Structure 1
Amino acid sequence: MGGLGNSDKASEASLRNPRKKRKQRPPNKLRTKPKSTKKRKSDPTLNTDAQNPINGSESSALEALPLEPFSFFLDEFQTANDVQVSSLELDSMKGRCMLGPPQSSIQDEKTLVKHIKEAFGSSWKEVLCKGKLLEGETAPGSPAVLIISTSAIRAIELLKGFRSLTQECHAVKLFSKHMKIEEQVELLKNRVNIASGTPSRIKKLIDIEALGLSRLAVIVFDIQPDVKGYSLFSLPQVRDEFWDLYKSYLHQRVVEGGLRICLFGPLQPSRKRRKKEVTSPGK
């Protein structure tokens, strides 16, 4: 009886031990797998200067991260043009050249107008609404605000919000669609407070000295993506024309502190930069 009892206990112990081992394995797997997965997802964000993912193949992941306007624009400028901003330029630009996006989750024409008015403070009526040329103060054809978009349709769309400000001094449309450059030259012989257009036409008008920059205080970069996901910083050809304009006439004024940039639209890295981030070695 005693022998059988010991045998029964041994057989029961041998049966219980495997069961314990089998029960312990699944919980271990469940505990370690989420940890390793979470670590792999969070690691890439630690390797960036502007809080941007460097290995994100999904646009939703890229768009979800908050990006500081100055760092975002600086990265776009350097990546698109394969240049490195000098430390002197960086110190001069940092902290004062950006208006940043409007403090509103809704970014439409009305939001943009409110944001621009706030940028000029108490002088916004004098700068943005008055229609008379004042000798020595307001040069003809020199807007205080210049909006740059990817297309004529988008340029017109953004101007709709400024109608309450342009009754005395009409805004000028600076694009090639349905408009001859000679017509725009004539319009620019008057006082201009607000102008909106596309990069190529804007640059051409500056080249021939029809469009002046002496009053320019705020430049709006309309980076709202289109239905295909392209923006001012990523749409082929328009992107190159934009950076050509910026380098030729705007960058130095930004560095010197005489011109502030307003990024209007989501801070979404361009496709060129995304590709570079995804294919970076060792990332």
Structure 2
Amino acid sequence: MGDDLGDEWWAHEDKSDASEAEEETQQEKQPTEKAPKNTKTKPEKRKSVTEGTVKAKKKKDNEQKVSNIPPKTETDDDKTTKPKRKRKKKTITDVLASSEPKPGCPADLQSMVKLYFSDKRSVIEQEELALQDPSFLSCNDLTHTLSSFLKQVCPKWSKVQKQHKEKSSVVLLIICSSALRAIELLKQMTAFKGEAKAVKLFAKHIKIEEQVKLLQKGVTHVGVGTPGRISALIEKDGLSLKALKYVVLDWNWRDQKLRRMVDVPEVKLDFMKLLESGILNGCKEGKVKIGLF
């Protein structure tokens, strides 16, 4: 009996020891099982920290880039949003409208001729073509009509008219800017010309061949026209300058845009070519005199 109790006590001790050993083993296992969980969470935290650092760095870089871009100035905005205002150039009309009309004088024509030939002729040639004061008639002071002016500059007109016998040539040449102005001047000079024959020398509605035939047909004393057509007639030998004594320039008259004959570029160019074609040489030889009306 005593032996049975002893065996039971030892058996109970063994069970308790076994249970304690199991508990210890379970306790030892628990930390080892949780360990992988802890090891998993640590990399995740590092990953999230790394991603946050990269994002913050990118954000900082972007901010630096933005800060390095210079801000748009007002001029940039004006260029992109506001249309440019073009500065209006002053026309000849604007300039002349703001200035009082002033009668032309020999110095005006002299300076214009000098400027025109400054880059086209040598210094010696320019001196030969330069207009001198004796080459000029008295100028219009803006008080004369065409007839009164012509009577002043051509006091012996009736005698000159009778002595003229050359065909295809004129004694008096009046140069103006347009056909309409030429017709107006022909009407204004009626009191002066008397029985002298005058001819229209412009291109409007008149063929150059008709004008050549008219000049060859009989003696013509006065020619009134534009520099372009007069030059063309000289080139075609339809008009001769042999008998020419007086050249009157319609210098002071202004059109609707307040331009004088020499203010219109194409007319001015034709006029300078006409002077070069023989009138300047006639002035140099003392055969031709120029008047500014």
SS in 2 for 1:188: helix
Partner of residue 77 from structure 1, selected from 103, 107, 113: 113
1:134-213 mapped onto 2 (5 Å cutoff): 138-166=165-193, 168-189=195-216, 190-213=218-241
- Aligned match of 1:99 in 113, 120, 137? 137
Q: 2:148 aligns with which of 114, 137, 161?
A: 114
The answer to whether the 8 Å contact 2:136/2:291 transfers is: yes
Q: Is the 8 A contact 1:169 1:191 kept in 2?
A: no
**Alignment equivalent of 1:228, drawn from 243, 246, 257:** 257
Partner Cα distance (2:188, 2:103) in 1: 27
Q: What residue in structure 2 maps to residue 269 of structure 1?
A: none
Identity %: 32
The alignment partner of 1:96 has SS state of: helix
1:28-82 Cα offsets, whole Å, 9 max, x none, are xxxxxxxxxxxxxxxxxxxxxxxxxxxxx95477646776x22111112122343
d(CA) in 1 for partners of 2:288, 2:266: 25
Structure with more contact order per residue of length (Cα contacts < 8 Å, sep ≥ 6):
1
Unpaired segments of 5 or more residues in structure 1? Answer: 1-56, 265-283
Letter in 2 for 1:116: L
Kindly state the Cα deviation for residue 127 of structure 1 after the two structures are TM-superposed. 2.3
Please provide the CA RMSD for this pair: 2.6
Contact 2:129–2:281, Cα closer than 8 Å, also in 1: no
Aligned pairs, number:
194
Q: Distance in 2 between matches of 1:250 and 1:217?
A: 10
Tell me the secondary structure at the aligned position of residue 173 of structure 1: strand
CA distance in 2, matches of 1:196, 1:225: 17
Deviation at 1:143, TM superposition (A): 0.9
Alignment TM-score, normalising by the size of structure 2:
0.59
- My pick for the range that moved more, 150-159 or 80-89, is 80-89
Amino acid at match of 1:188: L
> 1:89–1:209: structure 2 CA closer, same or farther, 3 Å change rule?
closer
